[in-house]
Amino acid sequence: MVREAVPAGIGRLTGRLSTIGDGPPPEALSNPLREKIIRTPTPCLKRAAVTTAPFGPICAPMTHDNNGKVTALIMAGKRSGVLDPLAERAGVAQKCVVPVGGMPMIERVVMNVAASPRIGEIRVVAHEADEIAAIPSIAKLQAEGRLVFKPGAFNLVDSVFAGAEGADYPLLITTADNCLWLPEDFTEFADKSIASKAGAAAALAHKEDVRAADPQGQSRFYEFSDGGYSNCNAYWIGPPQALAAAEIMRGGGQFVKFPRRIAKAFGVINLIRFFLGWGTKEKLFAQVSRRFGFSMVPIEMSHGHCAIDVDNERTFQVTEKLLAKRLAAA
């Protein structure tokens, strides 16, 4: 599916947020695992050091333990009790192992992530890891100690928290069906996120680029004064405190389809701004940043295909066609 742009945060992650400047509400921290992750000490412990995007970085973008590398979280969960139609057609237990271009989609994403010079440890968050671990190239990375599996939770938000537990920061989070991202795309997103010195970031693709890649695809976009954009299902978390941004999507996300969720996640004023197209994407992200107390920025990707994932039969066919073109040109 070609995805709508998310103003900030993690994928389709949303919770009710407090008034501007108050940060996440108490219920957003009610889970002990989330408290442990969000409150993990980092080199910039004092809240006074936390600023928003226009004013400076939240803290140093790298921890000392990851040797300048980024930890990748690949979300490869499945819906409980539901067999995806693509998986059923392919005769596999979960969508992430459906072959795309002759290779299981999770394998393709893992190998492209691994080939990026910015990525260190790879964490695959899955409900059924055995089927994934049986793929030889993934088994090799696991044996080398570069890839580990983390159990998925009952929803995407808590799966992100579970996958991030004990990880070295920063984190690059993506999904197992982002098959059109090549190593250079992951490197581009990491480099731009590092350069932004942001607490959290979301990858976006411009409307014209998305339509150029798939003219028959997405019809609705997030419209800002500087153009329309689509979400690319790739996210950046700088320090552990910024993982609180995941709570934005607990209510379901998909803000283009369900605009009322914007008021719940970002406040009524930002809902009005969204409907009226007031300001650039950077301005809206800056407004949202004030709700959290750390900077959240949009990262515009160079290619529209970054906003296309494998969600159904149509996008499966589109992905195979675009993937063949990308690989031929690489």
* Confidence band, pLDDT 50/70/90 cuts, at residue 248: low
Per-residue model confidence (pLDDT) at position 188: 98
pLDDT number for residue 228: 87
**Segment 8-23, tens digit of pLDDT:** 333 333 222 222 223 3
Q: List the alpha helices (DSSP H) in the chain.
A: 32-38, 85-90, 105-114, 129-133, 136-143, 156-164, 183-196, 207-213, 260-266, 268-276, 281-292, 313-329
DSSP 24-87: S-GGGG-SHHHHHHHT---S---GGG---TTT--SS-SS-GGGTTPEEEEEE----TT---HHH
Residue 48 pLDDT > 50, yes or no? no
Listed in sequence order, the residues at least 6 apart from 322 whose beta carbon sits closer than 8 Å to its beta carbon are: 180, 213, 214, 305, 308
Condensed to tens digits (0 to 9), the pLDDT of residues 57-109 reads 334 345 445 678 999 999 998 877 778 999 999 999 999 999 999 999 999 99
3-state SS, residue 294: coil
* pLDDT on residue 250: 63
| Rounded-to-integer distance, Cα 126 and Cα 78, Å | 8
CATH superfamily of 26-329: Spore Coat Polysaccharide Biosynthesis Protein SpsA; Chain A (3.90.550.10)
Average pLDDT, the chain: 77
Residue 13, both tokens: 């992650």
Whether 273 has a pLDDT exceeding 90, the answer reads no
Percent of the chain with pLDDT strictly greater than 70: 69
